[in-house]
């Protein structure tokens, strides 16, 4: 099953990238108008650092904004970052891009492959900072040139799963071995890597579907990550606990759902 999922993911990307070619890139810095996010529970924890951020335009197909975020209070303590979920929002947080008159040009959303990193960030301490990438496919070069400012927008609400109470339903199935014990810390780390791979897959799939040529340059990194995770899974000798299996199945479902949404 594990190998099948990797083949499925790679095949979907290859098929959608068949028509992609070419390259091109422009980069500049833009400044925030203020630092606080406007809504959502994440806004209680996070603000934008008041400093210029790098905005990159690629191939008339997408833009990427690297923004430094800071915790304004201690993060969520006593929980596993993987048990943090986001609700009432698509993704984690949005940022609005502005022109010279501070008119809204568009909105960029945090990259899906940064989601796990962001969850871990939310368990940190007040004053912690980290850089996250926000993106939007289909942004024109003309809009890129007009964009000179940005401001934090809406964020998601937060829920935390009770990891110790996670159960596996009768409908959950996998050819991965399961143990009734607490599982292995190695599998926790491996599942982190696997989820990062799936987030990369989803992001790349969306870009390829939209004709975003930056998918071509990112494909090599995606393949390296796929090979790395595949080898780790092949080498794994310990068994998963029920909670770890449940998480494994949820990650797989996220990948399958993303592919179905492209149809």
What are the structural domain ranges in the chain? Answer: 2-20+174-261, 25-160
d(CA 124, CA 120): 7
Q: What value does the mean pLDDT take over residues 26-40?
A: 94
Residue 131's SS3 state is: strand
Q: What value does the mean pLDDT take over residues 247-253?
A: 81
What pLDDT does 177 receive?
A: 43
What pLDDT does 154 receive?
A: 93
What pLDDT does 198 receive?
A: 84
Between 214-235 and 185-209, two packed helices, what is the crossing angle to 10 degrees?
A: 160
Task: Give the pLDDT confidence of 186-232 residue by residue, as tens digits.
Answer: 788 888 888 888 888 888 878 777 777 777 777 777 788 787 877 77
Q: What value does the mean pLDDT take over residues 225-249?
A: 77
Task: Give the pLDDT confidence of 117-168 residue by residue, as tens digits.
Answer: 999 999 999 999 999 999 988 788 888 999 999 999 999 999 998 654 433 3
- Residues facing 107 on adjacent strands: 96
Task: Give the pLDDT confidence of 36-86 residue by residue, as tens digits.
Answer: 999 999 999 999 999 999 999 987 568 999 999 999 999 999 999 989 988
Q: In this structure, is the dihedral angle defined by the CA atoms of residues 230, 234, 236 and 238, taken in order, positive or negative?
A: positive
Q: Which two tokens stand for residue 155?
A: 């964020």
188 vs 177, higher pLDDT: 188
What pLDDT does 164 receive?
A: 46
Torsion of CA 204, 208, 213, 215, to 10 degrees: 20
What are the CA-CA distances from residue 80 to residues 119, 165, 181, 205, 220 (Å)? 9, 13, 18, 28, 31
């Amino acid at each position: 099953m594990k190998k099948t999922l990797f083949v499925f993911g790679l095949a979907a990307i290859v098929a959608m990238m068949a028509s992609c070619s070419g390259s091109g890139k422009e980069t500049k810095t833009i400044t925030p108008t203020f630092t606080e996010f406007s809504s959502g529970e994440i806004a209680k924890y996070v603000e934008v650092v008041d400093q210029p951020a790098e905005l990159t335009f690629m191939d008339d197909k997408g833009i990427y904004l690297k923004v430094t975020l800071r915790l304004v209070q201690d993060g969520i303590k006593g929980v596993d970052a993987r048990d943090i979920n986001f609700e009432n929002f698509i993704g984690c947080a949005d940022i609005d891009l502005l022109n010279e008159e501070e008119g809204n040009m568009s909105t960029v959303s945090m990259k899906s492959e940064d989601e796990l990193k962001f969850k871990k960030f939310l368990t940190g301490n007040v004053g912690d900072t980290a850089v996250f990438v926000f993106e939007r496919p289909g942004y024109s070069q003309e809009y890129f040139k007009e964009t000179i400012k940005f401001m934090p927008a809406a964020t998601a609400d937060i829920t935390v799963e009770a990891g110790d109470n996670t159960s596996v339903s009768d409908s959950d199935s996998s050819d991965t071995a399961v143990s009734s014990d607490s599982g292995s810390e190695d599998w926790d780390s491996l599942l982190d890597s696997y989820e990062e791979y799936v987030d990369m897959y989803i992001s790349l799939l969306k870009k390829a579907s939209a004709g975003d040529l930056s998918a071509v340059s990112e494909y090599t990194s995606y393949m390296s990550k796929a090979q790395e995770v595949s080898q780790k899974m092949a080498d794994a000798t310990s068994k998963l606990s029920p909670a770890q299996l449940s998480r494994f199945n949820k990650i797989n479902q996220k990948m399958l759902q993303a592919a179905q949404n492209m149809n």
